[in-house]
Amino acid sequence: MQNTVQIAFAHVAKSFDGGRVKAVDDVSLQVARGEFLAIVGSSGSGKTTLLRLANRLIEADSGQITIDGEDVRAADPVGLRRRIGTVFQSGGLFPHMSVAANIGITPKLKGENGADIAARVDELLDLVRLDRKQFRDRFPHELSGGQRQRVGVARALAANPKIVLMDEPFGALDPLTRDALGDDYRALHARLGLTTVMITHDMTEAILLADRIAVMRSGKLLAQGTASQLAQSGDAYVSELLSTPRRQAERLNALLPRGAA
């Protein structure tokens, strides 16, 4: 089961402004069950559009997207979104709802009973390492950026999805929080057997968290593979993307001798 395809994009295209802007241009990409895929690209590369196509927040112009072999166009978009967890950029929490209400929203929409939801919310707060009593009744504006994003992750997991889509989830956080949250999420991903697709513009983050990396530029998929596979790629842009983390790593190694700090 481990290597069966969970999400598949086949020759998918999407343009905006009456065809003038090709946001996604003939992209074919597969994500295996249990895999952590990072899609890397600069802004305007089409990576966010690709993600939104998967849960039909926008509809593809052509090509086919399947989840577990089922064409998403055949699925009810609302039901589809309830089955897929989504973590939004800087949280996307509902400012008028408490942490508990935010986390419990999808189960509530699915009509689960209140006691079950409350129990699930506490469980999820534990999972994302937020103190139940302290955070349950707070409102988003009373949380730090990192806490907000932890709640965002908890909300995405609330309906027990097998797939989680993440749109630059840690982009707006300070480096320490970002690192801690990334590691915590990676552990959750493994523990819950999730299939995760994460959008990021940060190659270092992608290398450190993901099993496989897809590189996008101007709507096209340039390359995909593990970090070492990408390193073999002859593409100049991919090499350039990889050169930054490598250079940083070398400099850090030089500046921070082992055993120190």
Contact positions toward another protein, by CB under 8 A?
55, 57, 78-79, 81-82, 86, 88-90, 92-96, 105-106, 109-110, 139, 155, 159
Residue 161 or 217 with smaller CB distance to another protein: 161
Residue 135 or 222 with smaller CB distance to another protein: 135
Burial code (b: 16+ CB inside 10 Å, e: under 16) for 196-232 equals bbbbbbbbebbbebbbbbbbbbebebbbbeebeebee
Q: CB of residue 173 vs another protein: minimum separation in angstroms?
A: 16
Q: CB of residue 165 vs another protein: minimum separation in angstroms?
A: 8
Q: CB of residue 139 vs another protein: minimum separation in angstroms?
A: 7
Residue 45 or 55 with smaller CB distance to another protein: 55
Residue 58 or 208 with smaller CB distance to another protein: 58
At 37, which amino acid appears?
L
**How far apart are alpha carbons 256 and 239 in whole angstroms?**
25
Q: CB of residue 249 vs another protein: minimum separation in angstroms?
A: 33
Residue 84 or 203 with smaller CB distance to another protein: 84
Residue 90 or 218 with smaller CB distance to another protein: 90
* 3-state secondary structure labels for all residues of the chain: CCCCEEEEEEEEEEEECCCCEEEEEEEEEEEECCCEEEEECCCCCCHHHHHHHHCCCCCCCEEEEEECCEEHHHCCHHHHHHHEEEEECCECCCCCCCHHHHHCHHHHHCCCCHHHHHHHHHHHHHHCCCCHHHHCCCCHHHCCHHHHHHHHHHHHHCCCCCEEEEECCCCCCCHHHHHHHHHHHHHHHHHHCCEEEEEECCHHHHHHHCCEEEEEECCEEEEEECHHHHHHCCCHHHHHHHHHHHHHHHHHHHHCCCCCC
Residue 24 or 165 with smaller CB distance to another protein: 165
Q: CB of residue 4 vs another protein: minimum separation in angstroms?
A: 25
Q: CB of residue 10 vs another protein: minimum separation in angstroms?
A: 23
Q: CB of residue 182 vs another protein: minimum separation in angstroms?
A: 21
Terminal CA-CA length for the chain: 43
